[in-house]
Structure 1
Amino acid sequence: MRRRPEKNELRTHVIKIDGYSQIKELLQTGEYTTSIPFSVGGHSWAMRYYPNGCRERAGYLSVFLVLDSADAKDVKAKVSFGLLDMDGVTSPTYSGTFEYIFQNKGSSYGFTKLIKHKDLEGSVHLRGDSVRIRCDVTIVTKIRSEETKGIQYVKVPPSKLHQNLGGLLESMDGADVTFQVGGQKFPAHRYVLAARSSVFNAELFGAMKEKIGGSMKIDDMESDVFESLLHFIYTDSLPVVETVMAGHLLVAADRLKLMCEEKLCNHIDAKMVATTLALAEQHSCHGLKEACFDFLSSPSNLKAMKASDGYEHLKNSCPSVLKELIARLLPVELKAVKDIIMSI
């Protein structure tokens, strides 16, 4: 299939917020002021400025791009936002880029946490009580593709699942579990977490389900780090983060895995041990695997495990761990038999 080059149109728009302090006092969290409309790619656009953050993002400055054309539909745009310093240079720390399909008039997307108030105030980005924000918008128009045997008249639109789940993360409609992290509360959806993470699946729907209830507390983790983890779970992408934050995310992910592993070790039962053992094997959770083996050293627990719903899954997905379990349970004097089993 031959494909013609993409036609890109780039337009830069800068808004200047004079009277930053006064506007911050006048508008509450979730309230915004809108820029003068500007045109890109034959469509009208505007920037929304939230001096006290959108939704529950108090303490931050939020900025969004909104599609303002009545007849527009499914407009794909690559958007960059960035704070400008006194010399008009975009800050690499307080800037970011995303791609989004704006479905119709009023569709918007942006950064809920562009910069904290305490980081902005007194910085080079606030001069004379004035803030300038730059927005680069690139509209990508794909010229229809041509195949060797004719023209492709039907084009399947790209999936919007990640955008839909991202919207669910923002609105939190129907949330049924709350995480308490660093003094903040993060509502979430059990089934989304369970579908995206086998660890969350075991924790939220396994033996600990009744003890967890509707709330979970996670200690020794920064709230913004956990928020980035949630963003990844819902959208399969990382938010725009600094290099230091990326390192924190790596540490947090490893720590969260160990915390979940510890909890699962303390809540092993006959109904869930097969599923938990498969989970431990698939995700290299060595401590959890040992805890399962210890639990199954009891003949009654072993028998109950074989009658559980997860046993067939364990046999099919992790046959090697069953061989290791059998070898562990054989008496020491049958070393030769153990060697034969492990070599199969």
Structure 2
Amino acid sequence: MAEHCKISAALVAEKRSYVLKLDGYSRTKALVKTGECVSSAPFSVGGHRWAVKYYLNSIVCADSISLYLVLDPAGAKDVTAKLTISVLDKNGEPVPSFSLQERVYFIIRADLEGSVHLRDDCLTIRYDVTVTEEIYNEETKVPPSDLHCYLGDLLKNKDAADLTIQVGGQSFSAHRCVLAARSPVFKAELLGAMKENSGSPIEICDMEANVFKSLLHFIYTDTLPPVLESASNNGAGELAMAGHLAADRYNIGRLKLICEEKLCNQIDSKMVATSLALAEQHGFHDLKEACLKFLAAPSNLEAMMASDGFEHLKSSCPTVLKELIARILPPEQKAAKDLVMAI
């Protein structure tokens, strides 16, 4: 899916400093009432008019002086400004402990009056105002990632392949670094003890060639092969299961979850016994729950018992059958449930 991305650029329209000097601080503080505002002369930065309003006896923050940088609302739409407010020392330099990058500045009166920065009853504060102007702004659509296409072509064309894997009588060309990056099992095998035999073909037993082909497709593209993506209920369970087993063997968690979801969505009376056995053997909780809920219906249970996979389920996973029996027994037969689980 394409993502929306906002591309913008800005430049500094103007940067200026305004110094507010308050002579006779003590007298002014005594004359100005609590909550009463005093305003500075207006000044211009970036084509906009600004002013400083200050309360020597603030009602917002007790025992403090509050200062506000205000903008003339006329023509002030979409103005972006950066501000630094600083008390100046005797050399006209900002005092770090009395500096702040905010539009509203509170100074604790006792801290200021107890410092050396209130000289000769004079307070000097500097406003550094930087106005920026947006010169480019456009929202564009970023296309979805196509990395999987390039890696898929790498697998298809066998470009720079340095590995040959034999499965079920077929040979597959692959890239050692890609397999090692995608699977911790492959990483241990290909970058560990087997690295010394890097020139020899690697043979994988107990796996069908079409299963390994699907596994390779997912490793390189992070997508299921078309045969699994478009699979219907006819044979879809077998295909999804094959991918599931391959993912479990090579510890590719995302493929395992995708295949489990497919199996959950394709449960029927013919395949439910096989899917339940798979879920029990590999610890797939969601698939197991989906199968048990499906078998809670008496007609589905009868059909499952008549299917080819039922005998395999009985011999390979007898405990899950006990759990199934305990679930379908009515609640009032708790003793019977406990007995079944104890057998």
TM-score class, shorter? 0.3 to 0.5
Q: What TM-score do the two structures reach when normalised by structure 1?
A: 0.37
Q: Kindly indicate which of the two structures has a greater share of residues assigned to helix.
A: 2
Q: What TM-score do the two structures reach when normalised by structure 2?
A: 0.37
Pair member with larger Rg: 2
